[in-house]
Amino acid sequence: MDPATVIGVILAFAALFGSMIMEGGSPASLFLLPPMFLVFVGSFAVSLASNTVPGFLGSAKWLVYALTAKKPDVEAVVEPLVKMAERARREGLLALEQEMETVNDPFMKHGLQMAVDGTDPDDLWEILSAEVRAKKTSAANGAKFWEDAGGYAPTIGILGTVMGLVTVLKNLADPAELGGHIAVAFLATLWGVLLANLLCIPFGKRIKTVAAAESARMELIIEGVLAIQAGSNPRVVATKLKSKMTPVGPPAAKEAA
């Protein structure tokens, strides 16, 4: 798994607690049940109300997948496709039947099987592209729940602060208790902002990032399968696929002559 999200969330909370300690405060004072209960339960409840139960369950599955999924190995996609292209060019598409057992990727296996079965290239592209679109839609719906919760959380936090201030106004006759009540009231706003910006919104973005990488991998497979079906030169297949790989960083500088 790519630990970026987990590391980022931990560092964000560490920065928050660290700055509080530097100011002489105690992070333990932030953990009060009433404001946390209102913000966490209220935010997810409102987000659930604006979605569906299947959508909520799907968002939970997408979050687990996004946090645990391995980074797509594009080289692991290109290499078998080039080998398939070499064999198909030498022996024909039907020869790939024997190679199917070695293909571990279900999407690649599905595409190659349709190519071997003689599926029309346009139909093959449409069927596989529909699977990619379905995955993108599923991921977008999964991310939406978390982004919705991130949008509602600060407002729920403000609601908690207003409720807390009402309690403060009721106890004006007891000045000794005012400080504590005011602190509890503003903790609701704090937790609303924290839930939104340190958890929910990053989770939604993470789902979209992972889904985009997975969709790019699937689109690369489609290109390879269509090239194999067309009988393209294996070198051309390799060049075409590698040209569509997204570089991690800027291109390397050319060495001076």
Res 167: pLDDT: 80
User: For residue 230, which of 124, 143, 158, 136 has the smallest C-alpha distance?
Assistant: 124
Closest to 159 measured CA to CA, from 131, 127, 192, 181: 192
Are 47 and 148 spatial neighbours (Cβ–Cβ below 8 Å)? yes
- Express each pLDDT in 136-188 by its tens digit: 999 999 999 999 999 999 999 999 999 888 888 877 777 777 777 788 889 99
- 232-247 residue pLDDT tens: 888 888 888 888 776 5
Determine the Cα–Cα distance for residues 130 and 86; give it in Å rounded to an integer.
28
Categorise residue 254: left if φ over 0, alpha if ψ from -120 to 50, beta otherwise. Answer: beta
Rounded to whole angstroms, the Cα distance separating 75 from 83 reads 12
**Helix (H) or strand (E) segment spanning residue 12:** helix 4-22
User: Each residue of 52-81: b (16+ CB within 10 Å) or e?
Assistant: eeebeebbeebbeebbebeebebeebbebb
Q: Name the pLDDT band for 70 (thresholds 50, 70, 90).
A: confident
Domain positions in the chain are 1-31, 33-245
